[in-house]
Amino acid sequence: MNKIVIASVVLLAALFAAAGAFFTVQQTQQVLITQFGQPIRVVQQPGLNVKIPFIQTVIPFDRRLLDYDAPGEEVILGDQRRIIVDSFTRYRITDPLLFYQTVGVTEQGIRGRLSSIVTSSLRRVLASEQLNAVLSNERPRVMGEIRRLVNEEAQRFGIEVADVRIRRADLPDENTQAVLSRMQSERERVAREARAEGAEVAARIRAQAERDRTVLLAEAEANAAILRGTGEQEAIRVFAEAFRRDPEFFQFWRTMQAYREVFSNGESRMVLTPESDFFRFFREIPDVAGARPPG
C-alpha cells in the first residue's frame, strides 16, 4: 500500500514538473527566460517552448505598438512665444533583454524615461521653430525631427519609437486674449484695405464709364451735326434746283407759304401799303371765266 502511495506522489510530481517545463508564446508576445534572475535567452517566435521547471522563469513582453500620452508642457518657441503642447508617443519593445536590463519587467519603468526624452526633444526642436511652422503644413517636418531625436535616445532602452505627434498646441490663457486682439486688428486692417481697394476700383470704373459716356455723346452730337448739315445742304440743293427750273413758280410757292404762316391764326396785324411787294400776288389774280377785276 505504501509503495502505491509513493508511486502516485512521484507520478504527480513528475507530471507537475513536466507541466511546468512547457510554456506557450502568444503571437502578441515575446519572452525573456531568466535563471535565478539572470537572463538566459529571448524567444520571439510564437509557439510551444521548453524551460527548466522551478529554475527558469518566463517573463513576457508585449510586442505590439504601445502608447504613452505625455502631460502638457509649456514650451518656448524660436520667436519667444509660449505654447502648451500635449503629445503622444507610439513605441514597441524590440530588444526584451536590453529593456529588462535598463528598465525592468513592467512598462511603467519606461514611461518616466519616455517623458523626459520626449520633453527634452520637444523643447530642443521647437526652440528653433516659429509658431506658424507648428500650426501649418510644416508640422510633419517638425514632428519628423522630434521623432528622430526621441528614437535615438529610446534605442538604448530596447524600444523603437514609431511615431511622436503633437495632439494639441495652445497658447497660455494669459496670452490668448492678446493674440485674439491682434488677430482682430489684423482682420480689421485687411478689411479696410479691401474696402479701400474696392472704392478705388469703383471710382476708376465710374470715371471710365463717364469718359466713355462723354465720348459717345460727343460722337453722337458730331454725327447728328454732320447729318443735319448734310440734310440742310440737300434741302438747299433741292430748293436751288427747283428755283432754277421755274423761278416764278418757286417765288409764288414761297409767297404762299408766307401767307399761310402769317394769316393762319387770324390774329396777325400787318401795317403795309397796298402797293407792298408782299401783296403782289393779290393784285395779280388772273381773270376767272373771262371776268376781269374792276378797274
Minimum mean pLDDT range among 1-15, 27-41, 152-166: 1-15
How many beta carbons lie within 10 A of that of residue 163, not counting itself? 15
Neighbours of 52 (CB within 10 A): 13
Spans of all domains in the chain? 12-62, 66-177, 240-283
295 band by pLDDT with thresholds 50, 70 and 90 = very low
pLDDT digits (tens, 9 = 90+) for 203-239: 999 999 999 999 999 999 999 999 989 988 888 888 7
Residue 179 vs residue 99, higher pLDDT: 99
Candidate CATH numbers 3.30.420.40, 3.30.479.30, 3.40.50.880, 3.40.50.720; the one for domain 66-177 = 3.30.479.30
- Give the rounded percent of residues in the chain with a pLDDT score beyond 90: 15
pLDDT range class, residue 288, cuts 50, 70, 90 = very low
Strand duo 22-25 + 56-62: pairing: unpaired
Q: How many angstroms separate the CA atoms of 104 and 111, rounded? A: 12
Contact 262, 268 (CB under 8 A): yes
Phi-psi region of 212 (alpha: psi -120 to 50; beta: other; left: phi over 0): alpha
pLDDT at 41 over 80: yes
pLDDT at 290: 47
Residue 202 confidence (pLDDT): 92
- Mean pLDDT score, 248-277: 70
pLDDT digits over 127-160, tens only?
888 878 887 888 888 888 989 999 999 999 999 9
Q: CA separation (Å) from 115 to 109, 112, 120, 238?
A: 11, 5, 9, 111
Q: Which residue has the cell 393779290?
A: 282
**Better pLDDT: 269 or 48:** 48
Kindly report which listed range (95-104, 156-165, 166-175) carries the lowest average pLDDT score: 166-175
Average of per-residue pLDDT across 246-266: 72
User: Does position 291 have pLDDT exceeding 70, yes or no?
Assistant: no
pLDDT score at 81: 79
Give CA–CA dist 289/283, Å, rounded.
17
Residues ≥6 apart with Cβ < 8 Å to 278: 255, 258, 272
Q: What is the pLDDT of residue 47?
A: 86
Written in H, E and C, the secondary structure of the chain is CHHHHHHHHHHHHHHHHHHHHEEEECCCEEEEEEECCEEEEEECCCEEEECCCCCEEEEEEECCCEEEECCCEEEECCCCCEEEEEEEEEEEECCHHHHHHHCCCCCHHHHHHHHHHHHHHHHHHHCCCCHHHHHCCCHHHHHHHHHHHHHHHHHHHCEEEEEEEEEEEECCHHHHHHHHHHHHHHHHHHHHHHHHHHHHHHHHHHHHHHHHHHHHHHHHHHHHHHHHHHHHHHHHHHHHHHHHHCHHHHHHHHHHHHHHHHHCCCCCCCCCCCCCHHHHHHHCCCCCCCCCCCC
Q: What single-letter amino acid sits at 147?
A: R
Asked whether the predicted pLDDT for residue 289 surpasses 50, the reply is no
Pairing of strands 73-76, 56-62: unpaired
Neighbours of 276 (CB within 10 A): 12
Give dist(CA 192, CA 81) in Å, integer. Answer: 28
Kindly tell me if the per-residue pLDDT of 8 is higher than 70: no
Average pLDDT value over all residues in the chain:
80
